[in-house]
């Protein structure tokens, strides 16, 4: 038991270190390409750090030993990722903003409002579509395939709209700025090649760290006899989404609220559109009671976030306690299900 915990701690350190290297490279990339913080956070950072949790459902679906277990883990991980981001990650973002309020010299989270609102609109559209198609009969295969294609096109349209808005945002003072020089520039000259090299090194370390962490969690869960569905909905998404959470905490500490929030909401769009499309193509895409519950809580949490985006430019840390309560509520429901039977 102690060795498993030490292994988890080691891979956690790898993930945190890789996330710091990644955020540094992403800031340099966004600065050199003259993109807005919205593009850098919602697309570059979000997709990059979404790679570890993207691997989990794909490996589970394509390489699982049992079709039932692989589908359960796959669908659970696909829908569990937006759940974690909309609840736990948002709560941690608010808690971090409160904790670093003196260093930040501001109490509220103040993102660029149009990108924040756009992210949540695209996510709600895609996730609700993916959620509702699960209730269509399996014989309606063409309907499901059509929805999957719509989800793929939705993400690419989202990317186009986000990039299109970048130029105007840069003019309005929302350009990506480096907090410090590229780490590799301490050894090599400042050049785009080394920005990309550092980015690839960081992504490699993130993937290795996340896979090692997930393997350690699975081993530990097996020892303490945690059910597969609880693992796929509660434990695996937490482990694989550590990069997003760590990146956002690093950016919120620096006062880069647009990038911190965009890293989460951009990942929500990616994981609420492309990953469900893969799930619809490769699995029966049916929801059991646990996955249904997590999906409903995700929708409630996301609507709350969207209302915050509509209501004010400033998001107070206490307002995100709601997301934390929703996460704890789901954990309580899952534990009750496990205990009762």
For residue range 102-139, list pLDDT tens digits in order.
888 888 898 888 889 999 999 999 999 999 998 998 88
Q: What are the pLDDT digits (tens) for 231-244?
A: 655 666 666 666 66
Residues 284, 136: Cα–Cα separation, whole Å: 11
Q: By mean pLDDT, which of 126-135, 284-293, 300-309 is the weakest?
A: 284-293
Q: Is residue 228 predicted with pLDDT exceeding 60? A: no
pLDDT band at 187; cut points 50, 70, 90 = confident
Measured distance CA(166)–CA(37) in Å, rounded: 8
Q: How far is CA 70 from CA 61, 118, 200, in A?
A: 5, 33, 29
The whole-number pLDDT of residue 295 equals: 92
Partnered with residue 109 across adjacent β-strands are 315
Taking the C-alpha atoms of residue 254 and residue 266, their distance in angstroms, rounded to an integer, is 19
pLDDT of residue 6: 83
Nearest Cα residue to 87 out of 273, 299, 341: 299
- The answer on pLDDT for 52 being more than 80 is no
Q: Which is more confidently placed, 226 or 291? A: 291
Domain 2-173+181-340 part of CATH 3.40.50.720 = no
Question: How many Å apart are CA 326 and CA 17, to the nearest integer?
Answer: 30
User: Where is 171: in which H helix or E strand?
Assistant: helix 166-171
Please tell me the distance from the alpha carbon of residue 293 to that of residue 308, in angstroms, as a whole number.
23
Q: Tell me, what's the pLDDT at 340?
A: 77
Residue-wise pLDDT tens digits, 60-87 = 566 554 555 555 556 767 887 899 899 9
Q: Compare 169 and 299 and report the one with higher pLDDT.
A: 299
* Sign of the alpha-carbon torsion through 236, 240, 241, 247: positive
Tokens linked to 37: 């913080």
Report helix, strand or coil for 36. strand
Question: Residue 58 — pLDDT band, cuts 50, 70, 90?
Answer: low
pLDDT above 70 as % of the chain: 79
Map out the domains of the chain as residue ranges.
Answer: 2-173+181-340
Question: Whose CA is closest to 209, among 86, 65, 316, 53?
Answer: 53
Angle CA(262)–CA(268)–CA(270) in degrees, nearest 5?
A: 100
């Amino acid at each position: 038991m102690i060795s498993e915990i030490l292994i988890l701690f080691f891979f956690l350190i790898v993930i945190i270190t890789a996330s710091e290297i990644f955020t540094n490279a992403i800031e340099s990339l966004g600065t050199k390409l003259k993109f807005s913080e919205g593009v850098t956070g919602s697309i570059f950072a979000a997709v990059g750090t979404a790679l570890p949790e993207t691997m989990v459902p794909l490996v589970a679906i394509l390489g699982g030993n049992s079709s039932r277990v692989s589908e359960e883990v796959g669908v659970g991980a696909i829908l569990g990722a937006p759940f974690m981001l909309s609840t736990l990650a948002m709560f941690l973002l608010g808690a971090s903003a409160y904790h670093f309020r003196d260093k930040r010299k501001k109490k509220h989270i103040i993102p660029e409002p149009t990108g924040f609102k756009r992210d949540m609109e695209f996510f709600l559209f895609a996730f609700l579509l993916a959620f509702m198609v699960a209730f269509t009969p399996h014989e309606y295969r063409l309907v499901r395939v059509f929805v999957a294609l719509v989800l793929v096109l939705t993400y690419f349209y989202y990317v186009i709209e986000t990039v299109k808005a970048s130029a105007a945002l840069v003019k309005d003072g929302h350009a990506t700025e480096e907090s410090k020089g590229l780490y590799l520039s301490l050894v090599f000259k400042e050049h785009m090649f080394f920005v990309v090299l550092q980015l690839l090194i960081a992504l490699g370390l993130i993937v290795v760290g996340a896979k090692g962490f997930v393997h350690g969690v699975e081993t530990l869960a097996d020892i303490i006899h945690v059910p597969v569905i609880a693992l796929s909905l509660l434990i695996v998404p937490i482990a694989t989404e550590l990069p997003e959470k760590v990146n956002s905490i690093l950016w919120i500490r620096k006062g880069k609220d647009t990038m911190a929030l965009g890293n989460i909401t951009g990942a929500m769009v990616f994981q609420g559109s492309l990953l469900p499309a893969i799930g619809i193509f490769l699995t029966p895409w049916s929801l059991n009671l646990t996955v249904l519950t997590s999906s409903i809580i995700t929708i409630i949490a996301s609507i709350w976030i969207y209302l915050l985006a509509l209501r004010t430019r400033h998001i107070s840390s206490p307002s995100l306690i709601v997301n934390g309560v929703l996460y704890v509520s789901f954990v309580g429901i899952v534990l009750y299900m496990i205990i009762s039977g």
